[in-house]
Amino acid sequence: MLIQAVGAVLPAALAVALSPFPLIGIVLILAGRHGRRNGLLFTAGWIAGLGIAATLVVLVFGGADDPESPSSAIADWGRVLAGAALIVLGARTWWQRPRAGDETGTPRWMASLDDLSASRALLLGLLLSGANPKNLVLTASAATSIVEVGAHHGDLVVAVAVFVLVGSCTVLGAVVIHLLGGQHAASFLDSVRQFMITNSAVITAIVLLLLGASILGDGLTGLGR
């Protein structure tokens, strides 16, 4: 069951990891005052937020491995609604993407990330991972998939851990590069930040459309069982 559970969570985990905003945010935090401290705290908050959200979904839908159970039906309808919502959001993001020649600047909410207190860095990581609506949908889908393939006990814990680790790989990678790479790392991370800012709408739209279609398909398949 472990292999099936891990395979089921990888698409959603990669979608979480490829979200542009946490990557832009962590690079800005690392470049600011107390960058090392705040970067580590943001990462800890991010990992904790994903882990808590996934654990709560697993507890709520613990009976979803039985196709005849109410939990399974609720999970399937939730997938249908969530998948449709992601497709709509992805299409909206694509439609509103900056056109050639448009200026793309750092979002306003990121302007003060270079001077965060320790507590705000930790809280921001928690909120961006665990309370972000898009991440909640993806986390719920992944955690429900773990339950539905019949993973229990150790397999369930490992599958959740894999989801959290893969979903955190870009944030973790940025921190590791910053800690080990010196000035070259700063230049590289700044180029990554600028790329993500410039292309964030396109990346987000593609991820939302692909994952939305996948989640919607899974929900419809489950309802047809």
Give the pLDDT confidence of 2-12 residue by residue, as tens digits.
788 778 888 88
With helix as H, strand as E and coil as C, how does 41-86 read? HHHHHHHHHHHHHHHHHHHHCCCCCCCCCHHHHHHHHHHHHHHHHH
Residue 172: the pLDDT is 93
169-193 tens-digit pLDDT: 999 998 998 888 766 777 777 787 7
Looking at the structure of the chain, the number of domains it has is 1
Q: What is the mean pLDDT of the chain?
A: 79
The pLDDT-based confidence of 44 (bands split at 50, 70, 90) is very high
Range of the domain at 86: 2-223
- Any idea what DSSP says for residue 32? S
CA angle 75, 201, 87 (to 5 degrees): 30
* Ramachandran region, residue 84 (left: φ > 0; alpha: ψ -120 to 50; beta: rest): alpha
88-130 tens-digit pLDDT: 888 888 887 776 655 555 556 566 676 778 888 899 899 888 8
Q: How far is CA 186 from CA 11, 29, 35, 108, in A?
A: 29, 12, 11, 22
